[in-house]
Amino acid sequence: MSEASANGMTRREELLTVATKLFAARGYHGTRMDDVADAVGLNKATVYHYYASKSLILYDIYKGAADFTVDALHDDPTASARETIYHFTRRLLVGIAGNIERAAVYFQEGPYITEWFTEDQVGYIREKETLIPAYSESPCPKPVPMG
């Protein structure tokens, strides 16, 4: 299942990239598995070999975005609160700019994930999301002066 496509990505990575672009442009409901298969040049049965359902593709998009955001939290423990927040914000914005479609899907489909994901999948995403406010409060026991 890790065979590389012509662009050097695995087939699964390629499907995820193409589906992310389609979901960002058309929405989750507006994109069919046939659309993903056609865009990659595969038949639908092959797409289902890599992803058993469209919701699993969406989950991988969400999981990637959530994991990226949490990874951006890791910082130098000796940094000041200002440096910590600056570096987190910078990494997060650079990451969003680097994969704007993933960010678009994350925000546009967010209200509906409980309809499409299993309870465990929603729990994983929510757990990651709760780390952000906890992290942003921890280095700032007092207000950070502006300027």
Q: Could you tell me the residue range of the domain that residue 48 belongs to?
A: 11-137
Distance from C-alpha of 139 to C-alpha of 121, rounded to nearest angstrom: 29
Instruction: Report yes or no: 36 and 18 within 8 Å, Cβ to Cβ.
Output: yes
CATH of the domain at 68: 1.10.357.10
pLDDT score, position 145: 55
Asked if residue 146 has pLDDT above 90, the reply is: no
pLDDT score, position 5: 57
Answer whether residue 62 is part of any domain.
yes
Answer whether residue 38 is part of any domain.
yes
Please state the pTM of the whole predicted model: 0.82
Residues 41-52, mean pLDDT to the nearest whole number: 96
Answer whether residue 4 is part of any domain.
no
Answer whether residue 1 is part of any domain.
no
Question: DSSP assignment, residue 141?
Answer: S
- Please give the distance of CA 3 from its chain centroid, rounded to a whole number: 23
Q: 73-95, pLDDT tens digit by residue? A: 766 778 787 887 888 888 889 88
Instruction: Report yes or no: 22 and 34 within 8 Å, Cβ to Cβ.
Output: no
Answer whether residue 127 is part of any domain.
yes
The structural domain count of the chain equals 1
Q: 117-127, pLDDT tens digit by residue? A: 999 999 999 99
- Across 78-115, b (16+ Cβ under 10 Å) vs e yields eeeeeebbebbeebbeebbeebebbbbbbeebeeebee
Answer whether residue 132 is part of any domain.
yes
pLDDT score, position 1: 46
